[in-house]
Amino acid sequence: MKSQKRIQSLSWLAIVLAIIVVINMLGAWVYTKIDLTEDKRFTMMKATNKLLAALKKDTAAFTIELYLEGEFPSEFRHLHNATKDLLNVFRERSGGLIDYRFVNPLLGNDTERKEMQQKLGKQGIMPLQITDKRQARVMLVFPSAVVRYGNQFQVVNLIELGDGYYQPSDIDASINFLEYKFAVAIQKLKLRTRPRVVLMTGHGELQRPFTNEFEKALFEYYDIARMDLSQINQIDSNINLVIVPKPTQPFSMDDQFKIDQYVMNGGRMIWLLDGLNMEDDSLRNQRGQSVPFENSTDLQKLLFNYGVRVNNNIVSSFDAASIIGLQSGQGQKANPKWFYYPLAYPYLTPIEAQQSGRSTIDHPIVKNMDYVLTKYAASIDTVRTKSNVVKTPLLRSSKYSRVQYPPTPISLDAIDPNIRADAFTKGNQNIAVLLEGLFDSHFRNRLPPEATAKWAAAGNYPVRGLSTFAKMVVISDGDIAKNDVYQSSGKTIPMGAGWHPESGPRVFANREFLMNCIEYLLDDTGLIEARSREIKLRPLDQERAFNEETKWQIINLGLPLLLITIFGVIYIWLRKRRFSKKAT
């Protein structure tokens, strides 16, 4: 009987071992894993998976150097670990064609460190100066990576600064964007031809040097050129994006028709339009005031047909940037708040916030973005369209806003520190709106047969009355894309540079906003949706952890030892009691 049971046990053991061996053999051929995290932090977006899977057909590998190595606070260790986890998945999904390594740029002697920092500086990688309260010292961190593919490279900034200055809470947003940033860098390096972007001219649009910074940002990723509609028969369908930067002169019907047919054929556009013609220079007179007048570009009907109306007014907001070089009055601080410089943000209106349970617009263009500096912006209304067009507000002024119509003058007398938020009663005003869908032609059933015949005779594409899928962003302030210029030296000032009334000089998110708009308009893969993913981290309260460090060290080290001691004493007591009873 015993030998039979032994044989049966050995048989079961052999079966279990065989199953384990088979599972391991299958595991060598088939790799899979289950993501049990609540926010699916280890699950790639579909577009990212598709991009990485396509790399398996390639022969060249991507190498990534990350300069996030060394001694730094714990929150940067979280960023380091999250980046490492992500790149492990990237390497696996790409079939091993993505390799990475972490580098400490502060290793070596003074000369070696200086040479490394100069090398990184030439690539646009600058250190972040942070204070480690635990060690009571200031340290340099280089939260950047360089993605290389052949002779090309892309710099990836690993940190997102919420308001221009580092806060430990910025790490959450930074980790949320990692997948998107690395995927976009890989996609751009793989492009054989760069997208074509044109800036329109011929209607008083912004020109150099006031577009130097914008064109510099564009040239990094796109082929750019200027386009005068009067010199062409049609807008080539091979042009990926058309930007209209702050026109001041009327568009003829012929020019509007060329734009309309470009949109009908799936074109992508960014409109940077002023509702009223108002500049800072207009205030430089003895009275310190100016009466703005309508900016007659004759584009109102065209845009109304597409789904928006840029109003002929100016938005003022209590949440605004400062006007530089002035003083608010005797004994008052310099660079006072200028209500006509609204700080635009992806605000939800109070009703939308109540309905959605969120505080900001949830769209990949503006996800976790800082304020955008606007100057004399107009309000935008969305209107009902015949065709299916989705209208998504992207930027709004704060709920403490109002609008001003001509001929009311704008005066420097508005600089008054006694004005409070309750004086601004018109609520959030749209400043940027995204339109996407099937657009109805503004010229549908309005063209005489001879005009259609003339268009066809010129060798143009057929006239369409309804568009294929198209996208556009309408922004009611041309100055968003404008950089100022030092008159003395002619050097340009960064786009979005301004002065915050509380934190002082800073560069607002104008560049980031415009580049995000362009990326979204040109992206048909869905890759930009990765900007919307949100990984919920649960970081410690840094201030409390620092102040209560000794207390929690004692609890974490002493409490387990105390519990083990108590358990041991009770166990020995129970054992003695048990055996003493048996002996009795």
Q: What is the DSSP string of 16-33?
A: HHHHHHHHHHHHHH----
pLDDT greater at residue 518 or residue 92: 518
Q: What is the largest CA-CA distance in the chain?
A: 121
Asked if residue 435 lies in contact with residue 365, where contact means CB atoms within 8 angstroms, the answer is no
- Cβ atoms within 10 A of the Cβ of 168, count? 17
How far is residue 175's CA from residue 537's CA, in Å, rounded to a whole number?
9
* Coil, strand or helix at 357: coil
**Closest by Cα among 411, 415, 416 to 283:** 411
> By CB neighbour count within 10 A (0-12 exposed, 13-18 middle, 19+ buried), where does 282 fall?
middle
pLDDT band at 447 (very low <50, low <70, confident <90, very high): confident
pLDDT for the residue 2: 58
pLDDT band at 94 (very low <50, low <70, confident <90, very high): confident
Give the pLDDT of residue 133.
64
pLDDT(270) > 80: yes
d(CA 397, CA 380): 11
Return the amino acid letter for 523: D
The encoded tokens of residue 194 equal 């760069």
Q: What is the pLDDT of residues 100-159, one digit of tens each?
A: 999 888 888 888 888 888 888 888 888 877 776 665 677 788 888 999 988 888 888 888
Same-fold call for 31-188 versus 193-532? no
Lowest mean pLDDT among 116-125, 242-251, 508-517: 116-125
User: Residue 32: what pLDDT?
Assistant: 57
Q: For residue 331, is it left (φ>0), alpha (ψ between -120 and 50) or beta?
A: left
What does CATH list as the number for 31-188? 3.40.30
**Cα distance between residue 80 and residue 102, in whole Å:** 9
Q: What's the CA gap between 110 and 108, in Å, rounded?
A: 7
Calculate mean pLDDT across residues 325-332. Answer: 57
Better-predicted residue by pLDDT, 122 or 338: 338
Q: What is the mean pLDDT of residues 72-98?
A: 85
Model confidence at 161: pLDDT above 90: no
Give the whole-angstrom CA distance, residue 192 versus residue 179.
22
Query: Mean pLDDT score of the chain, rounded to an integer?
Result: 85
Give tens-digit pLDDT for 398-427: 999 999 999 889 988 888 888 899 999 999
Give the DSSP letter of residue 458.
T
Contact 291, 409 (CB under 8 A): yes
Residue 539 has pLDDT above 70, yes or no: no
Distance (Å, rounded) from C-alpha 197 to C-alpha 207?
15
Q: Which of 6-10, 318-322, 543-547 has the lowest mean pLDDT?
A: 543-547
Token match 């910074």: residue? 213
The pTM of the full predicted model, rounded to 2 decimals, is: 0.78
Residues 6+ apart with CB under 8 A from 177: 160, 368, 530, 531
pLDDT, average across residues 431-444? 94
d(CA 175, CA 86): 10
Which region among 134-138, 194-198, 214-218, 270-274 has the lowest average model confidence (pLDDT)? 134-138
pLDDT digits (tens, 9 = 90+) for 467-506: 999 999 999 999 999 999 988 888 899 999 999 888 888 8
**pLDDT for residue 330 is more than 60:** no
pLDDT at residue 339 is higher than 80: yes
Map residue 128 onto helix, strand or coil.
strand
Q: Which residue has the higher pLDDT, 259 or 10?
A: 259
- Helices (DSSP H) in 165-315: which residue ranges? 170-176, 178-190, 212-219, 253-264, 300-306
In angstroms, rounded to a whole number, what is the distance separating the alpha carbons of residues 146 and 140? 18
Residue indicated by tokens 């709106």:
433
- 87: phi then psi, degrees, rounded to nearest 5: -70, -25
Which alpha helices (H) appear in 289-386, and where do they start and end?
Answer: 300-306, 350-356
Residue 41 has pLDDT above 80, yes or no: no
Q: Is the pLDDT of residue 432 over 90?
A: yes
- pLDDT beyond 80 at 64: yes
Give the pairing of strands 137-141 and 337-344: unpaired
- The pLDDT assigned to 548 comes to 64
Check residue 241 and give its pLDDT. Answer: 97
Least confident of 241-250, 342-351, 353-362: 353-362
* Helix or strand (DSSP H, E) at 46: helix 46-54
What CATH class has 193-532? alpha beta
Q: 33 pLDDT band (50/70/90 cuts)? A: low
Has residue 570 got a pLDDT over 60? yes
Q: What residues are paired with 437 via a beta bridge?
A: 389, 470
Question: Taking residues 60-77, what's their average pLDDT?
Answer: 83
Predicted pLDDT at 202: 94
Region 17-34 average pLDDT: 70
Evaluate whether 180 touches 531 at the Cβ level (below 8 Å).
yes
pLDDT reported for residue 515: 93
Domain ranges across the chain: 31-188, 193-532, 540-567
Q: Number of helices (H) and strands (E) in the chain: give both, helices first.
A: 14, 26
Q: What is the pLDDT of residues 452-467, one digit of tens each?
A: 777 877 778 888 999 9
Sequence-separated (6 or more) residues with CB below 8 Å from residue 35: 41, 42, 43
